[in-house]
Amino acid sequence: MTRRYWNINLEEMMEAGVHFGHGTRKWNPRMSPYISAKCKGIHIINLTRTARFLSEACDLVFDASSRGKQFLIVGTKNKAADSVARAAIRARCHYVNKKWLGGMLTNWSTTETRLHKFRDLRMEQKAGRLARLPKRDAAVLKRQLSHLQTYLGGIKYMTGLPDIVIIVDQQEEYTALRECITLGIPTICLIDTNCDPDLADISIPANDDAIASIRLILTKLVFAICEGRSSYIRNP
């Protein structure tokens, strides 16, 4: 795997609150190697470990994107949703930021059918055909289109299973993580002090409740993906 310098700065992470974990009563003992201290009833995450695993994750996504691999970014809770969409769009990745529909990956044939329906309805709307239908029929199809846009809009161009999945908040996206494990899809997971660090291929210990923390981690990963894509374009 390529080793590169990703400018991961401990002071920058502290300013973003990456080091703040959950309360000491709400933690997973398996996270103890990634916790450096306790302060006013909360665990403090060891940012040196965060920097190490974030750097490893950046190396992984750089190498993968430089070989044309496809990524899916998952983060559906309110504090993560906007950052996930922006990061994914910037790096030309697929994303899910509203709700994970059970079986989205493990039952890919059903998801693919929904995507075909979604694309067909979008084409019908762009061509103006929905406007020519009876009002009741048009209303039904528009509701279907709106529903599909909400839940599948971030993966509308996905034609197969992703090569790597990036997950924000292991607890919130546990179903997505289990589907990836079942299918053998490599995962990079942002984990807080209440998570299990052994589930993902690369676990990045970090505050998964602060918008600034989530945004910082995603920004570093997205930069590495974009750098890899540039390399892939230059050396097809």
Q: List the pLDDT tens digit at each of the 236 positions of the chain.
A: 555 678 899 999 999 999 999 989 889 999 999 999 988 899 999 999 999 999 999 999 999 999 999 999 999 999 999 999 999 999 999 999 999 999 999 999 999 999 999 999 998 888 888 778 888 888 888 899 999 999 999 999 999 999 999 999 999 999 999 999 999 999 999 999 999 999 999 999 999 999 999 999 999 999 999 999 987 666 55
- Beta carbons within 8 Å of 90's beta carbon, 6+ residues apart: 222, 226
What pLDDT score does 227 carry? Answer: 93
pTM of this prediction?
A: 0.92
In three state form, how does the secondary structure of 109-132 look? HHHHHHHHHHHHHHHHHHCCCHHH
Contact 16, 215 (CB under 8 A): yes
Are 112 and 176 in a shared domain? no
Number of domains the chain is built from? 2
State the Cα–Cα distance between residues 203 and 195, nearest whole angstrom: 10
Are 76 and 119 in a shared domain? no
Residue 8: inside a domain, yes or no?
Answer: no
Are 89 and 101 in a shared domain? yes
Q: Which of the 8 DSSP states describes residue 40?
A: T
Sign of the Cα torsion 146, 209, 187, 86 reads positive
Are 29 and 138 in a shared domain? no
Residue given tokens 């006013």 in the structure block: 40
Are 145 and 226 in a shared domain? no
Phi, psi of 166 (to 5 degrees): -105, 125
What pLDDT score does 102 carry? Answer: 94
Domain boundaries, position 126: 108-153
What pLDDT score does 130 carry? Answer: 79
What pLDDT score does 1 carry? Answer: 54
Q: Is residue 176 packed enough to be buried (19+ CB in 10 Å), middle (13-18) or exposed (0-12)?
A: buried
Closest CA to 159 of 94, 84, 96, 92: 94
Residue 6: inside a domain, yes or no?
Answer: no
